[in-house]
């Protein structure tokens, strides 16, 4: 995308109209105010300036930006996705990086044709469902309401070889485009085209921009040799490793609830949404991938997995856990365990939503899920079976980095210990001792544990015997002492009184960006001495960028609009969009400059007096130049 295209999108998109679709705005003077759409609040702190084309939250978020930043945050989009969506809305053709305009336009046109072919196919499938009583009866039996069918655009592919192909060709879709979209393929007889989907309930798959990129088809009757689910192939607009079904409908609920439930099938996701559980997405017949993890990261860091209650489901959950663990420690991962033979669709379609919600609340951590999943392999009615179960559980417990989570599971496992009858605490400590033995550098002999003997003192890796308890810090961390407790925050945390210097800088920045005082302040704060007066590097950079424009009688909002550094624009917007009660005056501005000059001189003098040995000749020369510049700025103060 070229800079001119970005500016054209900004010019064509009404920022007030865009944001009003997410949160109502009320005009106040030349600006608009409303409740922030990104956090809960009762008093409006969200301000939009249509002239500047910026928004800023002065409440809990303390964030701001332009139309692109807003859409990225509101819908969890990447910057290219936000640009593409706004470009389509504005009617701006984008130039793709590394391509000339002709090639870029050709590829864009090709994708647009595929989107159009998919949209027309979805219309065909919907019409077929309305006409055919068989699949409608199936939907009624599966408790799918008409409103749900309509919201998810669910349709029906008739049991015919070429109805869709003929429909698309009659309506102007080129055969090569329909084939590239994965909707049809050449007939084996060489006399036309064959439909990809036949005799299946059709689930359109939409991307984050609400465009149909692919389809999933489900058999409603078992057919020998035919897969239950059939998905579109990979196409220029569809990659199953990066797309999650129903994310387009779930993203707002995911952000609001700050968690996502990942299920395996279309029907599971649809059933959850129909039951009012809307923070739900589904994989497309594949395991979770790294790209899926990156997509979910935009919306939340809390993920609940719901896979089939069998060995394959257990493996899938553990593979997903490895992916999220590799993606970073910020993720919280849990596993939803349902009664044997049940899935979200079966529970919710029979009206068991309360039990499903309880199961969601009781979702297990991954280690807890592992421990529960392997229980059926052991006969826990016999002591030998319980001991074998504990043997298998120890490696899982040893890998848990959180001591709180580890202690919680130790308490749950303690009743299986041979010593539990003589004291729960003794059994728990014995399990802890065995965990320490199992961890790297610990003793390997485990006979004492399984004989139920009294546990020895905690193992010390330094001495090999008893000693102070240690904690394993991960594969690379090694043994370490327990970390010290977090410091107690000081009273009135978050209400630190700002220094007089900080307050003075704030007044000068307000004056610099006000229509009435900008020229006066820019002239008074000459760029030559700005770095000597201001302590905030952002303030220095902003003054240096704006000073020639303001001296040239450019209005502050227009001057900021000419900047190219987005971080500087965001910084300036906090002053342009802010509401301040104390008025600006010439004397007040002069007083703030005097305060900064005196502060700078005092600091420089203090260094000369207290630590002259730290100043070499170059430092002395620089200080001399700084003092000269400051004296020229305000001789009386110097």
The whole-angstrom separation of Cα 309 and Cα 380 is 20
- Per-residue pLDDT tens digits for 7-51: 888 889 999 999 999 989 998 888 899 999 888 888 888 999 888
pLDDT at 449 over 50: no
pLDDT band at 620 (very low <50, low <70, confident <90, very high): low
- % of the chain with per-residue pLDDT over 70: 82
What is the crossing angle of helices 101-131 and 163-170, to 10°? 130
| Residue 79, C-beta contacts closer than 8 angstroms, at least 6 positions apart | 68, 72
Q: How many CB atoms lie within 10 A of CB 114?
A: 25
The whole-angstrom separation of Cα 151 and Cα 295 is 23
Contact 549, 559 (CB under 8 A): yes
pTM, whole model, 2 decimals? 0.69
pLDDT recorded at residue 628: 56
Cβ density class 44-59: b for 16+ within 10 Å, e for less: bbbbbbbebbbbbbbb
Q: How many CB atoms lie within 10 A of CB 381?
A: 7
- Per-residue pLDDT tens digits for 469-478: 333 333 333 3
Specify the higher pLDDT residue, 352 or 621: 352
Q: What is the mean predicted confidence (pLDDT) over 429-455? A: 61
- Per-residue pLDDT tens digits for 337-388: 998 889 999 999 999 999 999 999 999 999 999 999 889 899 999 999 999 9
Judging by beta carbons within 10 Å of its beta carbon (0-12, 13-18, 19+), is residue 119 exposed, middle or buried? Answer: middle
| Residue 528, C-beta contacts closer than 8 angstroms, at least 6 positions apart | 629
pLDDT recorded at residue 541: 85
Structure tokens at 467: 């000693």
pLDDT band at 445 (very low <50, low <70, confident <90, very high): very low
pLDDT recorded at residue 631: 53
The whole-angstrom separation of Cα 284 and Cα 215 is 10
Least confident of 539-543, 608-612, 624-628: 624-628
pLDDT at 528 over 70: no
Specify the higher pLDDT residue, 493 or 389: 389
pLDDT recorded at residue 551: 77
pLDDT band at 462 (very low <50, low <70, confident <90, very high): very low
| Residue 131, C-beta contacts closer than 8 angstroms, at least 6 positions apart | none
- Best CA proximity match to 395, nearest among 359, 451, 424, 435: 435
pLDDT at 540 over 90: no
Q: What is the mean predicted confidence (pLDDT) over 129-139? A: 95
Specify the higher pLDDT residue, 606 or 440: 606
pLDDT recorded at residue 281: 97
pLDDT recorded at residue 576: 82
- Per-residue pLDDT tens digits for 222-278: 888 889 999 999 999 999 998 999 999 998 899 889 999 999 889 999 999 999 999
Taken in order 215, 216, 219, 225, the sign of the CA dihedral is positive
Cβ density class 546-579: b for 16+ within 10 Å, e for less: bbebbeeebebbebbbebeeeebbbbbbbbbbee
pLDDT recorded at residue 549: 81
Specify the higher pLDDT residue, 628 or 300: 300
pLDDT mean across residues, the chain = 82
Specify the higher pLDDT residue, 527 or 287: 287
pLDDT at 168 over 60: yes
Contact 153, 147 (CB under 8 A): no
pLDDT band at 455 (very low <50, low <70, confident <90, very high): very low
Question: Residue 92 in 3-state DSSP?
Answer: coil
pLDDT band at 487 (very low <50, low <70, confident <90, very high): very low
Phi, psi angles (nearest 5°) of residue 105: -65, -35
The whole-angstrom separation of Cα 207 and Cα 212 is 7
């Amino acid at each position: 995308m070229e800079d001119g295209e970005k500016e054209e999108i900004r010019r064509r998109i009404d920022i007030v109209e865009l944001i009003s679709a997410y949160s109502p705005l009320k005009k106040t003077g030349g600006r608009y105010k409303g409740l922030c759409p990104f956090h809960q609040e009762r008093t409006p702190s969200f301000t939009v300036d249509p002239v500047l084309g910026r928004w800023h939250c002065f409440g809990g978020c303390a964030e701001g930006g332009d139309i692109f930043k807003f859409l990225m945050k509101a819908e969890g989009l990447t910057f290219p996705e936000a640009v593409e969506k706004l470009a389509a809305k504005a009617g701006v053709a984008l130039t793709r990086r590394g391509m000339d305009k002709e090639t870029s336009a050709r590829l864009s046109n090709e994708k647009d044709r595929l989107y159009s072919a998919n949209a027309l196919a979805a219309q065909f499938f919907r019409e077929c469902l309305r006409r055919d009583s068989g699949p409608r009866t199936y939907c009624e039996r599966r408790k799918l309401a008409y409103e749900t069918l309509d919201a998810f655009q669910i349709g029906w592919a008739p049991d015919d070889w070429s109805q869709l192909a003929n429909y698309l060709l009659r309506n102007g879709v080129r055969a090569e485009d329909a084939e590239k979209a994965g909707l049809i393929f050449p007939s084996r007889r060489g006399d036309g085209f064959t439909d990809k989907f036949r005799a299946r309930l059709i689930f359109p798959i939409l991307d984050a921009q609400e465009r149909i990129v692919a389809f999933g088809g489900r058999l409603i009757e078992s057919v020998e040799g035919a897969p239950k689910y059939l998905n579109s192939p990979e196409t220029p607009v569809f990659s199953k490793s990066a797309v999650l079904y129903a994310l387009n409908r779930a993203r707002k609920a995911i952000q609001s609830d700050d968690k996502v439930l990942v299920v395996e099938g279309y029907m599971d996701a649809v059933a959850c949404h129909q039951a009012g559980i809307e923070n739900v997405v589904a994989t497309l017949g594949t395991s979770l991938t790294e790209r899926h993890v990156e997509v979910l990261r935009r919306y939340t860091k809390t993920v609940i997995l719901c896979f089939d209650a069998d060995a394959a489901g257990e493996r899938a959950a553990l593979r997903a856990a490895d992916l999220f663990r590799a993606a970073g420690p910020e993720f919280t991962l849990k596993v939803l365990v349902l009664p044997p033979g049940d899935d979200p669709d079966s529970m919710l379609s029979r009206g068991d939503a309360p039990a499903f919600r309880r199961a969601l609340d009781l979702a297990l951590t991954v280690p807890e899920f592992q421990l529960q999943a392997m229980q059926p392999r052991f006969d826990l009615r016999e002591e030998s079976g319980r001991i074998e179960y504990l043997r298998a559980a120890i490696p899982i417990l040893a890998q848990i980095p959180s001591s709180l989570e580890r202690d919680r599971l130790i308490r749950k496992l303690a009743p299986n210990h041979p010593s539990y009858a003589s004291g729960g605490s003794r059994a728990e400590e014995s399990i802890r001792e065995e965990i320490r033995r199992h961890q790297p550098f610990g003793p390997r002999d485990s006979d004492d544990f399984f004989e139920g003997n009294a546990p020895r003192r905690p193992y010390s890796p330094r001495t090999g015997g008893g000693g102070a308890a240690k904690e394993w810090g991960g594969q690379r961390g090694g043994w370490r002492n327990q970390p010290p407790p977090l410091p107690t925050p000081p009273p009135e945390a978050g209400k630190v009184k700002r220094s007089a210097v900080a307050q003075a800088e704030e007044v000068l920045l307000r004056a610099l960006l006000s229509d009435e005082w900008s020229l006066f302040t820019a002239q008074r704060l000459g760029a030559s001495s700005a770095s000597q007066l201001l302590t905030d590097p952002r303030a220095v950079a902003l003054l240096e960028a704006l000073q020639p424009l303001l001296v040239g009688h450019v209005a502050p909002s227009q001057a900021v609009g000419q900047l190219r550094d987005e971080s500087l624009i965001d910084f300036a917007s906090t002053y342009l969009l802010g509401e301040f009660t104390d008025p600006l005056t010439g004397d007040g501005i002069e007083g703030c400059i005097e305060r900064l000059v005196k502060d700078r001189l005092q600091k420089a003098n203090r260094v000369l007096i207290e630590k002259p040995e730290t100043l070499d000749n170059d430092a002395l020369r620089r200080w001399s130049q700084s003092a000269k510049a400051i004296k020229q700025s305000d001789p009386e103060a110097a």
